[in-house]
Chains A and B, each alone.
Chain A
């Protein structure tokens, strides 16, 4: 088992014929990902990377039974791509596209409101379940199957966290990149829940960063759980001296200036092990799981 996607997940790729998409989807297929269809409006009927391409998501879903979609569409098309995949009944949407305007993401959140659809991203490396499915752009060769779940707001630090699991002799159950845009789909709480329900995940690495209160939310949820899986966390930006900025709104929304110490205390109180440096994760992992 794993979370969100495994070798059986039937994957659709929106924008499959683009250059970046072609490069990464080929790697995903070689990795063993069950890519069943692609969608590029106007290119329906062709076969690309050995996969049938359709004009619309609905057509692709009806024909191939696709369950999840990966978006490689231009930022300006994300909103309509999401609407299409929601209407076609897809339950998992992974948005690799970056530079999506915040207003468009607010509209995407409106489209998703009240549904049980999992939207990951935007601007995320995606999801990878080692040796099974790669929905995104992860450097797949650094991953190995194991029992550690990883969830991160930062793309590149995700890779560093993966390397830390390897240093401790462990591997990953599933790795999820949340993206660190202002408005994102699933957050720490959603992902921690999934990892807690997954019997193949024994511990979780949570990589956060300054800005917003997603880590605090995750900690609050964790504090209330009876059966806790160990969580090790690194928060990037701990030592960042406050950068001056125009206006007061940011500080008002977070009810005063949040320091890294505040974040750390809330997380530690909830039972999360917070490390000072991302390279300390492997040692903590050895301590926490035997």
Chain B
């Protein structure tokens, strides 16, 4: 689960990390009011709160929002109102969002902090080495996105264990980032605060991009992103309430309510599978001719007939879908439940597009009997390639 910048900053601040003074605003008038509260005079920074980085270089889709990006430095109080008015209710597209962008419904108003030196610091899980890894790069001359793409060697990576970064690891970072001795103590505190935030909140990623050095040599977090492990959320009720459903696509959100994973792509075939690997393999196999996957639904966890029917309806009612493959290798999951779900969904929304089905494993024969008796116009398949070639043919004939 991702959380917003202002929420992340609040958590980091409670763990000893210095952040600029800031407040959240939902209306232009509120933005002007809180600007006065955070600083008597400008400049201020207006920051669109969406789950995405690269907001400064992002662009709004709406004409009313003007040509400036999602992070704006504003000198005068009167411009706060007009800029907030432009940003709020507009849709921001960045290199980290889909081309559809994300609606900005709140902005963070901060006092502008002048810094002499900026750098990127991240903490994340390195799956290959099963450890937390600390990442850092100087960003004074180059944006982190460019460093990642062109100069990955300019990034320091230090694996850290659950006791946290050692003193010598933090010193190694201090040297790598060419921080002055005067900032060393503040930097140590900063890294400790990041680590504490990471482990005490079941975080999977924290990124501070950029951090900067203030005139008094203190380190300040100018931006912040935190991703929380959904599986750890049950022990953090205070974080659960930071979930922002508006950040999730509508169909994906509906699927989540049933405990399923839904993903959307650019093609014309909808797939219902059990297992994320199966969904990926389906993407690969479907990449044939003019056909490709439109969306996939991974039915997992504790399922029942109603949930399955609801899931199938999500796929069947997606306007891009011209044909559906249902591909179930039942282990935990019983194939007959899926068959019941297909019948219920077909009864409700109709099935006037081709449907290819493959069952294997638990209760396969029962499932096939159920479908046979329902006399739905189904095509049965034997394996993944077979299912794909059958759906491709059926879609062509249906046109």
Contact = CB atoms under 8 A, between A and B. Distances in A.
Interface of A: 20, 75-76, 99-107, 109-110, 125, 137-139, 142, 152-157, 159-160, 163, 180, 182-184, 207, 209-214, 217, 234, 236-241, 243-253, 255-257, 276-279
B193 interface: no
Given A103-B202, A253-B133, A125 B229 contact: no
Contacts of B231: 75, 99-102
A252 B284 contact: no
Given A139-B361, A212-B128, A278-B285, 9 more contacts: A100-B231, A157-B277, A163-B360, A214-B128, A236-B277, A248-B148, A249-B122, A249-B124, A256-B149
Interface residues of B, number: 69
A209 B287 CA distance: 17
Contacts of A137: 331-332
B281 interface: yes
B207 interface: yes
A183 B231 CA distance: 13
B266 A241 contact: yes
Given A139-B361, A184-B130, A256-B148, A279 B383 contact: yes
B288 to A, nearest CB: 9
Contacts of A207: 277
Nearest to B278: A156
Given A125-B331, A183-B125, A239-B284, A101 B232 contact: yes
Contacts of A210: 280
Contacts of B332: 20, 137
A181 to B, nearest CB: 8
Interface in B251-283: 263, 265-266, 273-278, 280-281, 283
A256 to B, nearest CB: 5
B98 interface: yes
Given A103-B229, A279-B383, A252 B51 contact: no
Contact of B162 (A110, A160, A252): A110
Contacts of A217: 128
B229 A101 contact: yes
Interface string B100-121: 0000000000000000000010
A209 B157 CA distance: 24
B225 interface: yes
Contacts of B275: 154-157
Interface string B79-107: 00000000000000001111000000000
Contacts of A109: 130-131
Contacts of B132: 106
Contacts of B263: 243
A246 B98 contact: no
Contacts of B16: none
Contact of B144 (A152, A238, A248): A248
Contacts of B229: 101-103
A183 B277 contact: no
A237 B280 contact: yes
Contact of B204 (A157, A182, A184, A214): A182
Contact of B383 (A153, A163, A180, A240): A163
A213 to B, nearest CB: 4
A157 B383 CA distance: 12
Contact of A180 (B120, B276, B287): B276
Contacts of B276: 154, 180, 209
Given A157-B281, A237-B280, A183 B130 contact: yes
25 contacts: A20-B332, A102-B231, A103-B229, A105-B130, A106-B162, A110-B162, A154-B275, A154-B281, A155-B277, A157-B281, A160-B383, A183-B127, A209-B277, A209-B280, A211-B127, A236-B280, A236-B284, A239-B283, A239-B287, A240-B283, A241-B265, A247-B122, A247-B227, A248-B144, A250-B124
A246 B331 contact: no
